[in-house]
Amino acid sequence: MGSRRMFFVSWTGLLGLALLVSRGEGQSCLPGVQVVPNLARGRPAFQSSTYQHPKSLVAGKAVDGNCNGNLDGAGSCTHTNGDMEPWWYVDLGDEYAIFAVVIKNRGECCGDRIRGAEIHVGDFVAENSKFNPLCGTIADTSLGSISTIHCNGLRGRFVSVNIPNRNDALTLCEVEVYGMKVEDRCR
């Protein structure tokens, strides 16, 4: 019954996304694409540390709706210190079936810092959500790249970006999360 319900949730979620796309609701960092509302926008976000900079590069900058990838000019990106396994996560406030996570990379410098970053989705915030199920890994590190990671309905309240096994800074210029509310009728 669980897999049948997940199949139903996945297809109904995709149908809902398609209907809203056709009506032109929502905005995305993807040029010319209209999508359903971004679940992460304006939600509480956290990161392993915050690099000291005049623009205040706090975790919430990745969910502010500003897709500008110029860290110094727009100041709408996050930036950690050079941490061992840096991390960032957003609390969606409730459980959702996540279909896609869109990540905007920095545009004017240091695009390779996001190489190998893992996107996790789940209900556990312990260990910065890095042990939640893996949705995918970022491969495109070109300056200003926009990576769309398909999560196929993974359920969770927290979406995290973690760089495993490396001492580096993590910079995110926007993180968008798309999915639908999970209604568990079996409770």
26 is a domain residue: no
2 is a domain residue: no
53 is a domain residue: yes
18 is a domain residue: no
Distance CA 56, CA 72 (A): 10
| pLDDT number for residue 70 | 87
CATH code for the domain in which residue 77 is found: 2.60.120.260
How many domains are there within the chain?
1
| pLDDT number for residue 127 | 85
| pLDDT number for residue 24 | 38
For 68, the domain range is 38-181
Q: Which residues of the chain have pLDDT under 70?
A: 1-28, 30-35, 184-187
9 is a domain residue: no
Q: What is the model's pTM?
A: 0.82
The greatest distance separating any two alpha carbons of the chain, rounded to the nearest whole angstrom, comes to 53
29 is a domain residue: no
